[in-house]
């Protein structure tokens, strides 16, 4: 009999000490985690390089990634066709995820305007007016409902329009938009672009990788400047635009003597409703009668990021820590909606008697309890979950072990706030951003975003990359699981300015901000688009987004959504580096197009690196190149 394989040490799986502690506990408890399966299941080397196609039943056809032009598929499809089609379908899936989420927010907004939904309101009138103004909708002297109706009608076109240009391209800097028009990649409407992407990647349709690449960009742009941006705008209008607030992050936010409820997923409405339920005096009293000191509501992943900055709700951790949270035994209920919800959470929850509830009709899990959140009566769902959580608290039978770690940090930097904070506008005020870039105190701006992935050491590349960037005077903006990684590592405090280079440190100390600014969930990458558009419009740094000394990175990406995001940043003009893996065959024409050709068309370009030092090196080299081209390098 073969000897059992030695287990990977927790400290080699993650740098998150709380998650390390829970990996050890899970092993003692005999509970399998996704880290274990990642170690067990080696990725298929052909699939990893995107060198196979299963778009029809003449295949599946497999190419040889080390000799990619030796064979073609049964239909004759070349490696470039095959990998461009695979890439296009990833972009379509990622775009569909963000735009469907955005559409759900828009439907909620419509219900609020029509008065059929009364548990949510238009909370941020100022934001509504700003969004209206950006769409050339008259606001002067008009009732808020009228303006809201027009905003709704206009934004709906993001999805349903079949010709023309999606409404939010009005926010794109003129020269960038001109490039898109020349290349024929301005999105018409998200549904149309996703549909066409799926059509063109089917057997026997578009078999020219350059032509496919255009639709890939057009689809991705319907995400960034479409579905995601609508989602951010509407969420701000309904729930409030974030402003900086100090938050606790890490598994130590769970409380042994309270009823712990975790909300994990992506739609802010579930957590917003859960906040109302957990604050209800009757349910608070019920919790106390059960012996609890109170009800502790905690967010995870993007749901958590949506509300942490709006309401100061604590955050337990990112994608790779969702099972770890359950392993504490302290979670009385975990409730989920859409996206990044591992099917095995249901099973792990079962091992610890945690109430696990799916709430969205789009995302059920076989065997899991489903209590649907109906926006017309959201408290019905969330009250019931709270009652179940209290029941579980009362009957807790498992030993509880909560890691003690908690990091405090400041989050909630909407692009509106960055603008205000750095001088009323990005230029022409007190210590404005553009001036500090031009005078060299800030070398450039980097977006570090995206997932964690059990195939790379959790959080490690995020943290090392960001440390390297700020040391080199690069201001970092963040979203998604990356933001949580840096929060846990303590880099979202103003004190972290001490780790920044002298120029960036001076700016941070003067303004009183951390060198790492958390902007929210993955859909809030649209805030980064708005920030770079604002930088161009402010002046002094070129005419197009592609001229700016900025770069982006998703060091530990895993989701198709990340590919869609990466592609919309690239198509918008941003140099975007992905870490550890990239779904493409090397030394092919399609690879050269993504990694060099798009830049020649006036767009941005993709980059790839396996170590955080190399990611930083590539990003800094790009920022310096742009500074030289702008004539502002010293």
Stretch in the footprint of ligand SF4 (CB under 6 A) among 7-15, 57-65, 241-249, 441-449:
57-65
CB 199 to ligand SF4: min, Å: 14
Measured at the CA of 121, the angle between CA 115 and CA 127, to 5 degrees, comes to: 120
Residues 71-100 as x/- pattern, contact with ligand SF4 by CB under 6 A: --xxx-x----x------------------
Residue 238 partner contact from ligand SF4, ligand XCC, none using kind-dependent CB cut-offs of 5 to 8 Å: none
Query: Within 10 Å of residue 337's Cβ, how many Cβ atoms?
Result: 24
Does 56 help bind ligand SF4 (rule: CB under 6 A)? yes
Residues in the chain: 634
CB 335 to ligand XCC: min, Å: 15
Determine which residue in the list 132, 330, 451, 504 makes contact with ligand XCC, applying CB under 6 A: 451
Does 238 help bind ligand XCC (rule: CB under 6 A)? no
Query: Using CA atoms, how far apart are residues 376 and 497, in angstroms rounded to an integer?
Result: 46
Contacts for 424 with CB less than 8 Å, ≥ 6 apart: 430, 432
Among positions 266-295, residues that touch ligand XCC (CB under 6 A) are 266
Residue 334 partner contact from ligand SF4, ligand XCC, none using kind-dependent CB cut-offs of 5 to 8 Å: none
φ, ψ of residue 358 in degrees (nearest 5):
-90, 150
Q: Are the CB atoms for 301 and 293 separated by under 8 Å? A: no
The H-or-E segment that residue 160 falls in is: helix 144-160
CB 83 to ligand SF4: min, Å: 11
Determine which residue in the list 346, 561, 622, 626 makes contact with ligand XCC, applying CB under 6 A: 561
By rule CB under 6 A, what count of residues binds ligand SF4? 14
Among positions 291-310, residues that touch ligand XCC (CB under 6 A) are 301-302
Q: Pairing between strand 575-579 and 474-478?
A: unpaired
- Between 53 and 336, CB nearer to ligand SF4: 53
Residue 61 partner contact from ligand XCC, ligand SF4, none using kind-dependent CB cut-offs of 5 to 8 Å: ligand SF4
- Between 72 and 371, CB nearer to ligand SF4: 72
Q: Are the CB atoms for 598 and 220 separated by under 8 Å? A: no
Q: Are the CB atoms for 348 and 47 separated by under 8 Å? A: no
Contacts for 10 with CB less than 8 Å, ≥ 6 apart: 19, 20, 21, 23, 24
Closest CA to 571 of 236, 232, 169: 169
Residue 264 partner contact from ligand SF4, ligand XCC, none using kind-dependent CB cut-offs of 5 to 8 Å: none
Determine which residue in the list 190, 261, 481, 593 makes contact with ligand XCC, applying CB under 6 A: 481
- Between 239 and 319, CB nearer to ligand XCC: 319
Query: Within 10 Å of residue 300's Cβ, how many Cβ atoms?
Result: 25
Q: Are the CB atoms for 306 and 325 separated by under 8 Å? A: no
In which residue are the tokens 């502790």 written?
A: 296
Does 450 help bind ligand XCC (rule: CB under 6 A)? yes
Does 559 help bind ligand XCC (rule: CB under 6 A)? yes
Query: Using CA atoms, how far apart are residues 238 and 144, in angstroms rounded to an integer?
Result: 13
CB 559 to ligand XCC: min, Å: 4
DSSP state of 66: T
Residue 234 partner contact from ligand SF4, ligand XCC, none using kind-dependent CB cut-offs of 5 to 8 Å: none
Does 59 help bind ligand SF4 (rule: CB under 6 A)? yes
What percentage of the chain's residues is helix, strand, coil (to nearest 5)? 50, 10, 35
By rule CB under 6 A, what count of residues binds ligand XCC? 15
Across-strand partners of 576?
Answer: 552, 606
Question: In 5-53, which ranges are E strands?
Answer: 52-53
Tokens of 395: 């009957």
Does 457 help bind ligand SF4 (rule: CB under 6 A)? no
CB 196 to ligand SF4: min, Å: 18
Does 55 help bind ligand SF4 (rule: CB under 6 A)? yes
Does 480 help bind ligand XCC (rule: CB under 6 A)? yes
Tokens of 152: 């709704």
Stretch in the footprint of ligand XCC (CB under 6 A) among 117-125, 251-259, 554-562, 603-611:
554-562
CA atoms within 13 A on the CB side of 482: 35
Does 53 help bind ligand SF4 (rule: CB under 6 A)? yes
Does 47 help bind ligand SF4 (rule: CB under 6 A)? no
Binding stretches for ligand XCC (CB under 6 A): 266, 301-302, 318-319, 340, 450-451, 480-481, 521-522, 559, 561-562
């Amino acid at each position: 009999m073969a000897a059992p394989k030695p287990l990977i040490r927790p400290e080699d799986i993650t740098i998150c000490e709380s998650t390390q502690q829970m990996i050890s506990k899970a092993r003692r408890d005999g509970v399998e985690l996704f880290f274990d399966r990642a170690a067990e299941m080696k990725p298929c080397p052909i699939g990893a390089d995107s060198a196979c196609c299963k778009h029809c039943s003449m295949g599946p056809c497999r190419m040889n990634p080390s000799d990619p032009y030796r064979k073609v598929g049964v239909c004759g499809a070349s490696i470039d066709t095959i990998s461009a089609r695979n890439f296009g379908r990833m972009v379509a899936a990622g775009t569909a995820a963000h735009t469907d989420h955005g559409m759900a927010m828009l439907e909620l907004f419509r219900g609020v305007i029509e008065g059929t939904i009364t548990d949510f309101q238009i909370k941020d009138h100022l934001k509504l007016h700003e969004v209206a103004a950006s769409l050339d909708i008259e606001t002067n002297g008009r009732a808020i409902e009228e303006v809201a109706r027009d905003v709704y009608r206009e934004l709906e076109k993001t999805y349903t329009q079949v010709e023309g240009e999606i409404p939010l391209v009005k926010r794109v800097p003129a020269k960038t938009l001109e490039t898109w028009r020349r290349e024929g990649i301005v999105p018409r409407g998200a549904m149309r672009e996703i549909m066409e992407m799926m059509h063109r990647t089917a057997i026997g349709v578009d078999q020219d990788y350059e032509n496919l690449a255009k639709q890939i960009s057009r689809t991705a742009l319907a995400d960034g400047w479409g579905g995601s941006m609508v989602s951010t705008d509407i969420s701000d209008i309904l729930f409030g635009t974030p402003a900086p607030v100090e938050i606790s992050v890490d598994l130590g936010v769970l409380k042994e003597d309270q009823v712990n409820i975790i909300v994990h997923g992506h739609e802010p409405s579930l957590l917003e409703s859960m906040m109302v339920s957990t604050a209800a005096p009757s349910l608070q009293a019920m919790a106390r009668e059960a012996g609890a000191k109170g009800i502790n509501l905690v967010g995870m992943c993007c749901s958590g990021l949506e509300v942490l900055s709006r309401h100061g709700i604590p955050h337990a951790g990112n994608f790779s820590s969702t099972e770890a949270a359950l392993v504490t035994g302290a979670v009385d209920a975990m409730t989920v909606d859409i996206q990044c919800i591992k099917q095995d959470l249901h099973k792990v929850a079962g091992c610890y008697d945690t109430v696990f509830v799916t709430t969205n009709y789009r995302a059920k899990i076989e065997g899991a309890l489903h209590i649907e959140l109906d926006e017309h009566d959201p408290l019905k769902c969330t009250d019931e979950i709270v009652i179940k959580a209290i029941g579980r608290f009362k009957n807790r039978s498992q030993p509880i072990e909560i890691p003690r770690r908690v990091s405090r940090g400041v989050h909630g930097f909407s692009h509106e706030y960055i603008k205000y904070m750095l001088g009323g506008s990005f230029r022409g005020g007190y210590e404005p951003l553009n001036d500090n870039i031009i005078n060299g105190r800030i070398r450039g701006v980097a977006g570090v975003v995206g997932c964690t992935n059990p195939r790379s050491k959790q959080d490690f590349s995020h943290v090392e990359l960001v440390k390297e960037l700020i040391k080199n005077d690069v201001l970092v903006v963040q979203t998604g699981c990356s933001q949580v990684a840096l929060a846990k590592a303590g880099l979202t405090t103003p004190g972290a300015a001490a780790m920044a280079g002298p120029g960036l440190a001076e700016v941070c100390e003067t303004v009183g901000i951390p060198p790492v600014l958390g902007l929210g969930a993955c859909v809030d990458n649209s805030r980064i688009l708005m920030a770079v558009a604002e930088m161009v419009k402010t002046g002094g740094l070129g005419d197009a987004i592609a001229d700016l000394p900025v770069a982006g990175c998703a060091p530990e990406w895993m989701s198709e959504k990340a590919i869609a995001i990466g592609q919309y940043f690239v198509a918008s003009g941003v140099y975007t580096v992905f870490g550890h893996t990239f779904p493409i065959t090397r030394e092919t024409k399609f690879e050269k197009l993504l990694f060099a050709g798009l830049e020649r068309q006036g767009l941005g370009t993709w980059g790839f690196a396996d170590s955080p030092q190399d990611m930083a090196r590539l990003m800094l080299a790009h920022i310096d190149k742009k500074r030289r081209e702008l004539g502002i390098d010293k």
